[in-house]
Amino acid sequence: MTPIKLHNTRTRRKEVFEPLDPDNVRMYVCGPTVYDRAHLGNARPVVVFDVLYRLLRHVYGKDHVTYVRNFTDVDDKINARAAETGRAIGEITAETTQWFLDDMGELGALEPDHMPRATQYIPQMVKMIEGLIKDGYAYPAREPSNDPPKEYVLANREAMMVDHALFEVEKFDHYGELSGRTVEDMIAGSRVEIAPYKKNPMDFVLWKPSEGDQPGWESPWGWGRPGWHIECSAMSKALLGDTFDIHGGGADLMFPHHENEIAQSCCANHTEFMAQFWLHNEMLQVEGKKMSKSLGNFFTVRDLLDQGIPGEVIRFVFLSTHYRKPMDWTAEKAREASRALQDMHRIVLGRLPHVVPRPEIDEYFCNALANDLNKHEYIRHLHVFASLADDEDVVDRFAAAQALADALAFLGLFNPELAKSHVPAFDPEKLALLADRLSSLRNSAMQSKEFVEVDRLKSRLIDAGVEVRMTKQGVELVPGPDFDSAKLEALK
């Protein structure tokens, strides 16, 4: 069995991954809040943990891996969108949830084994909060309307009606260990709600009141709704157990979301840890800057798809940067990814027109991913196998083409039917004749030192979207992303 090494945020080092139960490998990843289209930043963790999911299934067997990714469908952003549009909350969340699934499907992401909605687990959240209060880790509190002094609120807590439940951070000794911060540092560096009903400014909401058209449920603390953090603790416990193997998400969730998850889960379940491995992907930029609508560089996944950029190309750009490094999306990277994928698809289909990718992958590829998802090394091997498959002097070029197809498909980068549609239709005999002609013109020009005809033909080929590769070994013509068959046919 291939040993997998992953960088564990919890211990701040790369460790050999040994599941709690090899027959039941369990992973939870924080999903989106569904109120709008998924932007590029939302898509990065989906792609990152989709690759890890594929690797775990490959090593342990797909029947022995359970992957959970949630949908947050109760949130103030959703409430605001409903108030803004006049649409029902359920209608908005149902629509945007399907948008998300459709867009991530276009990126080649497999659907997780479970995709729970927060609103489906309200009873489990209430039960967990009740247990935390009973065991002394949380407390009920009322938000006073006339703002009496904090001292009065604390002294008369039991006599007052309650509408909040809060986790008491000081009751959990390990708070801050995931992010490496002290409580004092977190107060100083964060926007925390200073409220008179809190014992400590860092105490966080488990339950809060609902008013007007806000969604709500009955609870021991009145009509209200859960805080953000409790949903993941309740859903992961229900679907994966008190402890599980891997918890993932973006680095921006490390504090406060993941820190709070650990605190409430460990206290509620009386466990030493929530997940034994924590993995965090770094953030995404666009053209070197933070993605922002004000800067005009804010893109949803659907925006790029509608611009004609295939999902496989978007995915390839994502995979070209290690998950623990910041990623910069640029138009040039998209063009490079398109050319590279198109070239590899052309090579595979040229050698094996009716190729069927196999589930197995060469050990070079598996070992690369097993080393903390080293996709850069994986992609380097893709190019090596592409060169072998494209070399007429390589005896095993057909085997190399099959291995290339297998490795591309394993990463979600090769679907034979889609690949055929992405590779431009062209007449190989026409290209071969033009390559011979350009090679002959170049040989003559080397003698006469007159390159006018060489440059003219080369320019017309480039204008037709053909990549001209001239080396000492000869001339190679490859249809590029902008290939125009009509212009090619017009060339004499």
Mark whether 117 and 156 lie in a shared domain: yes
Q: Looking at residue 415, what is its pLDDT?
A: 82
**Percent of all residues in the chain with a pLDDT value above 70, rounded to a whole number:** 91
Q: Looking at residue 486, what is its pLDDT?
A: 76
Mean residue pLDDT of the chain comes to 90
Query: Where among 281, 313, 348 does a domain terminate?
Result: 281
Average of per-residue pLDDT across 371-382: 96
Mark whether 132 and 146 lie in a shared domain: yes
Mark whether 330 and 251 lie in a shared domain: no
Mark whether 469 and 329 lie in a shared domain: no
Comparison of pLDDT for 382 and 160, the residue scoring more: 382
Mark whether 412 and 481 lie in a shared domain: no
Mark whether 121 and 269 lie in a shared domain: yes
Count the domains in the chain: 3
Contact 199, 168 (CB under 8 A): yes
Q: If 0-12 CB within 10 Å is exposed, 13-18 middle and 19+ buried, where does residue 197 land? A: buried
**Percent of all residues in the chain with a pLDDT value above 90, rounded to a whole number:** 68
Mark whether 227 and 347 lie in a shared domain: no
> What is the C-alpha separation between 246 and 264, in angstroms, rounded?
17
The 10s digit of each residue's pLDDT in 150-187 is 564 455 544 445 689 999 999 999 999 999 987 666 66
Q: Which domain holds residue 375?
A: 286-422
Query: Where among 399, 422, 445 does a domain terminate?
Result: 422
The 10s digit of each residue's pLDDT in 183-242 is 666 665 555 556 778 998 899 999 999 988 899 999 999 999 999 999 999 999 999 999
Mark whether 57 and 157 lie in a shared domain: yes
The 10s digit of each residue's pLDDT in 50-83 is 999 999 999 999 999 999 999 999 999 999 999 9
Average of per-residue pLDDT across 439-446: 88
* DSSP letter, residue 428: H
| Structure confidence at residue 362 as a pLDDT band (50, 70, 90) | very high
Comparing CA positions, the residue from 10, 1, 3 lying closest to residue 277 is 10
Q: Which residue has the tokens 């006018």?
A: 452
Mark whether 482 and 385 lie in a shared domain: no
Q: Looking at residue 23, what is its pLDDT?
A: 97
CATH number, domain at 97?
A: 3.40.50.620
Query: Where among 220, 255, 281 does a domain terminate?
Result: 281
Average of per-residue pLDDT across 96-121: 98
Question: What tokens does 107 get?
Answer: 């990126």
The 10s digit of each residue's pLDDT in 253-294 is 999 999 999 999 999 999 999 999 999 999 999 999 888 877
Mark whether 295 and 319 lie in a shared domain: yes
Query: Among 42-56, 147-161, 244-258, 351-365, which is the least confidently predicted range?
Result: 147-161
Mark whether 131 and 90 lie in a shared domain: yes
Q: Looking at residue 283, what is its pLDDT?
A: 94
12-44: burial string, b at 16+ Cβ within 10 Å, e else: eeeeebebeeeebbbbbbbbbbbbbebbbbbbb
Q: Looking at residue 160, what is its pLDDT?
A: 44
Mark whether 258 and 303 lie in a shared domain: no
